[in-house]
Amino acid sequence: MNLSLSVFDAPGTEAEIGRLEQEAGSPAFWDDPQQARRSMQHLSRLKEKVSLWRDLEERTSTLLELTDLAIDDGDTSLEGQLIEETEQVSRTLDLEEFNLIFSGPYDERPAILSVHAGAGGTESQDWAEMLLRMYIRWTESLGRKAQILDLSHGDEAGIKSVTIEIGGQYAYGYLKAERGVHRLVRLSPFDANHLRHTSFALIEALPAAEEDPEINVKPDDLKIEFFRSSGPGGQNVQKVASAVRIIHQPTGIVVACQNERSQHQNREFAMKILMARLLERQLQERAREMSRIKGEHVSAEWGNQIRSYVLHPYKMVKDHRTGYQTSDPDGVLEGSLDEFMKAYLLSNLGKE
């Protein structure tokens, strides 16, 4: 069986790779540097896809040949190894077949993920830090890279907010399933009477803007301010004004970054966040225009409670959009999020 032809058009993609490589060889290719870089990024992603599917095809073919030889020779010594390798190929194939659902123009991009503690002080700030840990664990389990762009500590414990960049193919495609309000019910470790508390945190997920030619930021549109970073409890942790605040004056969007000691790096991270928010704003404007044309109401999920994590009086995590649930909240908080993401993405097919 030719896997690459059954679920993925490898020959068609290889033809597109050839066309893009031919364009890249043209003397005029770099006349428009932004568009050229965008084309090269697209080319790199296509090559990665084809390489993966061709590798799956080769591994499957080899397994079939070895299995046929073992059967013909009556050799059972390789049975365990062949079963294990077959299961590995099957898991990879299942994942890549699922990844074919990603058709959005930004699904393949890295994601800018933000966690914001809700009302409730220390309780919600601790919950926000638990969510940060959960997403870091999910990222690590898949071999992806995560970089904290900005972090604001809580007054007593936890965090007020954090923004991280998560890399890897389809990072935004997966993490867009997490947007909305996450609710925690537990016995509070901060309550002397150990009473049950409910906490909330908001998750934002944006596609990284990369070097998107449609996002044009003029230097004159930016107001850049520098201030001193502060640590837990508001204490001043630096004598140098290395923290950066950028105001995009045409839209009023404000971003700040104080995570690094370097003013230059804080400015670089703040620009990443700003570009992602400008891209998000543009996408929202397009969605509103499409809603006006279609005469339909497009309901943004921002602010909606999407998932509940109950640790007491029973254990359960339930996604209110899909109904998917599990009685293993500890596993979920350790990063086992794939089934929740898949349930949402499959239920949302054709709606975006």
pLDDT at 224: 94
pLDDT at 240: 54
Chain segment 112-162, per-residue pLDDT in tens: 999 999 987 899 999 999 999 999 999 999 889 999 999 999 988 999 999
- Say how far apart CA 73 and CA 224 lie, in whole Å: 74
Determine contact, residues 162/114, Cβ cutoff 8 Å.
yes
Chain segment 231-261, per-residue pLDDT in tens: 554 443 344 578 999 999 999 999 999 887 7
CA angle, 225 as apex, 224 and 228 as ends, to 5°?
145
- Say how far apart CA 301 and CA 145 lie, in whole Å: 27
pLDDT at 292: 59
For 333, other C-beta atoms within 10 Å of its C-beta total 18
pLDDT at 7: 56
Tokens of 190: 């901060």
- Say how far apart CA 118 and CA 124 lie, in whole Å: 6
pLDDT at 103: 80
- Say how far apart CA 253 and CA 276 lie, in whole Å: 11
**Residue 32: pLDDT above 50?**
yes
pLDDT at 55: 84
Determine contact, residues 171/249, Cβ cutoff 8 Å.
no
CA angle, 341 as apex, 270 and 95 as ends, to 5°?
105
Closest CA to 256 of 218, 225, 282: 225
Q: How many angstroms separate the first and last alpha carbons of the chain?
A: 33
pLDDT at 230: 66
**Residue 91: pLDDT above 90?**
no
Return the C-alpha torsion angle 148, 153, 157, 163, nearest 10: -30
**Residue 108: pLDDT above 90?**
no
Determine contact, residues 298/287, Cβ cutoff 8 Å.
yes
pLDDT at 125: 95
pLDDT at 213: 61
Phi, psi angle pair for 329, to nearest 5° = -65, -30
Using 50, 70 and 90 to split pLDDT, how confident is the model at 212? low
Using 50, 70 and 90 to split pLDDT, how confident is the model at 352? low
Please give the share of the chain, as a percent, with pLDDT higher than 70: 88
Range 17-23 average pLDDT: 89
Chain segment 92-102, per-residue pLDDT in tens: 787 777 888 88
Range 56-80 average pLDDT: 82
Chain segment 266-276, per-residue pLDDT in tens: 999 999 999 99
Task: Spell out the domains of the chain, with CATH numbers in brackets.
Answer: 3-99 (1.20.58.410), 111-212+298-347 (3.30.70.1660), 219-294 (3.30.160.20)
Using 50, 70 and 90 to split pLDDT, how confident is the model at 290? low
Please give the share of the chain, as a percent, with pLDDT higher than 90: 45
**Residue 306: pLDDT above 70?**
yes
How far out from the chain centre does Cα 235 lie?
32
pLDDT at 286: 78
Chain segment 309-331, per-residue pLDDT in tens: 999 999 999 999 999 999 999 99
Phi, psi angle pair for 41, to nearest 5° = -65, -45
Q: Which of residues 264 and 319 earns the better pLDDT score?
A: 319
Burial (Cβ within 10 Å: 0-12, 13-18, ≥19) of residue 174: buried
